[in-house]
Structure formats: C-alpha cells, structure tokens
Amino acid sequence: MWSQGGSQPSAGGVNSSSATVSKMTVLQILPCSVSQLLSASKVSSDTFALCDLEFNQVSVVGVVRELAPFVKYVQYCLDDMTGPPLTVRQWVNSEDCTPLVFASPGSYVKVIGSLRSSTGERSLQAKHIRVITDLNEITSHMLEVVHAHMQIFKKKFDVNMNITAVPSEDLPSVQGQVLHVIRRGSVRDIGIGYKELQSQLDFLSLRDIKSSLTSLMDKGFVYHTIDENHFKSTDR
C-alpha cells in the first residue's frame, strides 16, 4: 500500500528501510503493474520514476511462471499479464536460520521489493514474497494500483494507466447521467452491476447505456472490476 504519512505495511510484510522523498509525496510501498516497472524511467542506480514521482519499494501481484533456485538466491519469472514477465530474485540470508519457502510455478504471489536494472535488464529484488490463497487479492491489487496513481498524480487514468484529459463536466448529458450512477455505486469494492445500473437508468435505452459505458471506459472515467458486468468510476 502507499500512504502520505509513511504508514507501516501490514503484519507479515516487510518494513521499509527508507522512504523515498519526492516532490509530491512520501511513499514506502507503491502498488504497481509489471508494465509500469518495465517502462519506468531510471533516475539513479537504485531509483526509478513514473512521471515526476520517484519510488524505491513497490508491490506487485502475479503468477509464477518459472522457478530457478541458485546458491545465493531464488529466481522467479513473474507474470501479471500487463506486459512481458518480470524477473524476481529473492536472496538467501545466510544469517537467518528460517528456511526459505519456495512459491511453486502456477501459484499467485504478492512481491514487495525494489526495482533494479543491470545490463539493460529490469528485475525486482524481493524483500518479501507471499503466496496468495484468496484470488480476490489479485483484483484488489489492481484497484490499489489505479487508486494510488490517481491520488498521487491527481489525474484520471484509463485501464492501461494512460492519463486522460477530458473533464467530466464536458461529457454528453447521457454519459454524464450514467457516470453519476456509477459514481454512487463506486463506494463498494466491486462497484455497480450492469443490471442495477440498468434499473436506475430505466428511462434510458439499452443502446444508450451500452454506448455510454463504452465511451466512458475509452475516456478513462470507468473501468471493470470483478467481471465485465461490474463497473466503477476511476475517481472513487
């Protein structure tokens, strides 16, 4: 998670050794997608940036595609389907007698660590890897990614994390009505379902509702949550 007060991660996580101070906020752990890490600009040997925000520690959720144990570290191939798989290395602490538990291929994991770049290849130096048993955490993580970046940059993003510039007050009236109902339903984690949306907008035709949804998603105001029939606004 991210916070402006530098809060500690939840129990079982990894404490940050230092928080990155930027122009905009103080972060400990920034939720990210693999595609964002691969496209982030390099500021220094161990610091990267998204837009104007420098970061150090990040959290990523994905499925383990491959596992390769070495003498000093374990190497994973992590895939979250947003881009090419990312190499994750978890180093073995010889001073720690706690046995290292491997995450087997095919399992979903949450990784907290620092982005590194060597010989042109990006990798994640893991400080903590936890196997995910509740698949709802996958959806929750992607929502955290969108929400964190919206709060940090104070801008709207589409589902691919591209910045959108269309103000909501400039939307056509029908799209504005659809967005208003979705915003009210966005207080719930799963957002609002299509049937409930249709019920509250029974004065609109199905064609108008569907076309408005398509347009709102294209402009970055709305995104899918648990499936293609549930929607949430990007500013909630």
Burial of 77 (0-12, 13-18, 19+ CB in 10 A): middle
Predicted pLDDT of residue 4: 34
DSSP string, 21-38: E-SS-EES-EE--HHHHH
Average pLDDT over every residue of 19-42: 67
pTM of the model: 0.55
The β-bridge partners of 102 are none
Give the integer Cα–Cα distance in Å for 35 and 114: 15
Give the integer Cα–Cα distance in Å for 76 and 41: 23
Assign 55 a pLDDT band (cuts: 50, 70, 90).
confident
The reply to whether 51 and 80 lie within a common domain is yes
Residues 10-23 have pLDDT tens digits of 333 333 333 333 33
Please, what sign has the CA dihedral across residues 54, 87, 34, 147?
negative
Predicted pLDDT of residue 214: 87
The reply to whether 184 and 96 lie within a common domain is no
Count of domains observed in the chain: 2
Q: Note whether 14 and 35 are within 8 A (CB).
A: no
- The residue segments making up the domain with residue 47 are 20-138
Q: Note whether 64 and 101 are within 8 A (CB).
A: no
Left if phi > 0, otherwise alpha if psi is -120 to 50, otherwise beta: which for 123?
A: beta
129: CATH: 2.40.50.140
Task: Identify whether 153 is part of a domain.
Answer: no
The reply to whether 80 and 112 lie within a common domain is yes
Predicted pLDDT of residue 12: 36
